Amino acid sequence: MKKKQQHGGGDCPAPRPPAAAAAAAGGSPGPGQGGGWKRRRPLSLLPFLSLRDYGFCMAALLLFCLGSLFYQLNGGPPHFLLDLRHYLGNSTYLDDHGPPPQKVLPFPSQVVYNRVGKCGSRTVVLLLRILSEKHGFNLVTSDIHNKTRLTKNEQMELIKNISTAEQPYLFTRHVHFLNFSRFGGDQPVYINIIRDPVNRFLSNYFFRRFGDWRGEQNHMIRTPSMRQEERYLDINVCILENYPECSNPRLFYIIPYFCGQHPRCREPGEWALERAKLNVNENFLLVGILEELEDVLLLLERFLPHYFKDVLSIYKNPEHRKLGNLTVTVKKTVPSPEAIQILYQRMRYEYEFYYYVKEQFHLLKRKFGLKSPIRKPRPRPEFFIPSPLETEEPIDDEEEDDEKWLEDIYKR
């Protein structure tokens, strides 16, 4: 019976020990069973690292987490990370591959040049077109050239359009002073240039009739709608017989550009004069004198280098001077001494403002070491004799279609 039990089911072989089964299958023996069996390393995804290497990785991860925690708790990176960055170099991956840094705006980044007509502003605008390409600021111009007095709604609309322009911007237009803060906007920095009032008047008088050398060469007729008797009206007759063009309020021209949009700013008198002086002191970075234009440009370059850097060298460039010569008013004549004296009396507020600005400008020049001409006081302005600091007659300005001319010149 025992024999049958041992060999019963002769077709079924007797079970073998696990070690023997593994050996028969060509495998390695189990642990403790000989055969040189090796233990498998943990984290089989990285079999090439030792336990010590894993320890270093975990320690580095812990330090990174602690550094991030310190950064958030202290409102900035810990000093040791800053020192590490300085040691490794200031450039990081994010610096080279991340989003571009936010644009740092120069100060001031909002400038308005409410240019006075017939005071060389076309020279400056032409320079600004070149400078805006060179320095990358936003030059904002207007399609409206001869509307200087605005209604309240027009003021609000213009201020809104200017304030929403991309900064840094420089806006330029013939327009009387605008008070941005009155309408809730940020008050920009103003700049401007004026000239001797009688010279400005005479330049405008003859330009309206005969234009400049551009028109002379092209046989263009300035102001075609003007009647012939008005076109050839003698300047002395206009002044002595008190024609509207040669009397107030038409002669009261410069002060409103600084006084503002108030109706009283258009009335010749002390109120408009004092308000213009106040605005010059509080809102204008610089009001220059056209007779000393090179010094004006030099001061603009020092005050607003992000707008006017290298402006003087561009202005002195022969090509620019060549363009400037084409805009000199033609057929100008000198009024009689009697007519000049009458103009001076009619423009006494304009001259009081002009001399005030001129004095402030010379004080500013002395602060920067620029010399001004020394002259003895004269009983009345010397209207027509150029001063030693005057350059060639600057480019005159027109209030109609001057932007189109500038664009044509700029495309050359």
- Residues involved in catalysis: 174
Backbone angles phi, psi at 85, to 5 degrees: -65, -40
Beta-carbon contacts of 286 under 8 Å, excluding residues fewer than 6 positions away, are 191, 192, 296, 299, 300, 303, 361, 364
Between CA 13 and CA 231 the distance in angstroms is 134
144 burial (CB, 10 Å; 0-12 / 13-18 / 19+) is: middle
Beta-carbon contacts of 161 under 8 Å, excluding residues fewer than 6 positions away, are none
Beta-carbon contacts of 405 under 8 Å, excluding residues fewer than 6 positions away, are 122, 214
